[in-house]
Chains A and B, each alone.
Chain A
Amino acid sequence: QVTLKESGPVLVKPTETLTLTCSVSGFSLNNDKMGVTWIRQPPGKALEWLAHIFSNDEKSYSTSLKSRLSISKDTSKSRVVLTMTNMDPVDTATYYCATSSKYTITTFTWFDPWGQGTLVTVSS
């Protein structure tokens, strides 16, 4: 059974860097074609895809947040880490990680399962 769990700070100050960890079980981060995605949902707003990483270390980022995001994986610890620099109150959101797979170089599958999410508040 594949499970994911997000962890990280509950509260960060404006301008700080956020570091979130997604701990996965039930599959290996070396698994061909499988990847981990980060998604967020600000309170009362829509889901927003942030980034993903695949077994071959292929990475992709949200166009609007690309300059602030970095995603990496530690296969031996079954963890994927997302960092977001220069945090702002508008970045207050529930952050989720989820798994997906690749069909081809450019196409992907759905997100399932998801982690439970972690609420991050940005405030001084």
Chain B
Amino acid sequence: DIQMTQSPSSLSASVGDGVTITCRASQTVSNFLNWYQLKPGKTPNLLIYSASTLQSGVPSRFSGSGSGTDFTLTISSLQPEDFATYYCQQSYSTPITFGQGTKLEIK
């Protein structure tokens, strides 16, 4: 199984800050890497697919980069609605695997 490791596991930041979350795969996943945002009681929201493509309707302050084994999700200027948990997920091979999540909290 491909292991996905996110860092940090939690992060405190203020509105207006920029933050970066990293995701590392235990073997190459090419660009088959996706990012999701989860909020309590809400349906998971796809943010970025294929490592760097912004899903329709997602604000442009979100961006993704990377290929192979190392990836990043960047939020350029945090808004109050961005405080949530973020997950990376590889779709390169089965079994599909997720990172352990990064909880973004308000400082």
Task: Using CB atoms and an 8 Å cutoff, list the residues of chain A in contact with chain B.
Answer: 37, 41, 46-49, 52, 60-63, 96, 98, 100, 103, 106-117
Over the window 24-56 of chain B, the binary record of Cβ atoms lying under 8 Å from chain A Cβ atoms (1 yes, 0 no) is 000000101010101000011010011000010
B1 at the A interface (CB under 8 A): yes
Query: Cα distance A52–B100 when bound, in Å?
Result: 20
| Interfacial chain A residues near B101, Cβ < 8 Å | 46-47
Q: Are B95 and A49 in contact (CB under 8 A)?
A: yes
Q: Are A111 and B43 in contact (CB under 8 A)?
A: no
Query: Cα distance A100–B1 when bound, in Å?
Result: 19
Question: Size of chain B's interface in residues, with CB distance under 8 A?
Answer: 25
A114: which of B1, B34, B44, B87 is its contact (CB, 8 Å)?
A: B44
The DSSP consensus for interface residues of chain A is loop
Query: Cα distance A114–B47 when bound, in Å?
Result: 13
B71 at the A interface (CB under 8 A): no
Known interface pairs A107-B32, A111-B34, A112-B55. Does A49 touch B98 (Cβ–Cβ under 8 Å)? yes
The DSSP consensus for interface residues of chain B is loop
B54 to chain A, nearest CB (A): 12
Q: Are A46 and B100 in contact (CB under 8 A)?
A: yes
| Interfacial chain B residues near A113, Cβ < 8 Å | 43
A46: which of B34, B46, B91, B98 is its contact (CB, 8 Å)?
A: B98
Nearest chain B residue, comparing its CB with the CB of A66: B95
B73 to chain A, nearest CB (A): 14
Known interface pairs A46-B100, A117-B43. Does A110 touch B94 (Cβ–Cβ under 8 Å)? no
| Interfacial chain B residues near A37, Cβ < 8 Å | 96
Q: Are A96 and B44 in contact (CB under 8 A)?
A: yes
| Interfacial chain B residues near A109, Cβ < 8 Å | 49, 91
Considering the complex of A and B, which 9 residue pairs feature the smallest CB-CB distances, nearest first?
A110-B49, A110-B34, A108-B91, A49-B96, A60-B94, A112-B46, A47-B98, A46-B100, A46-B101
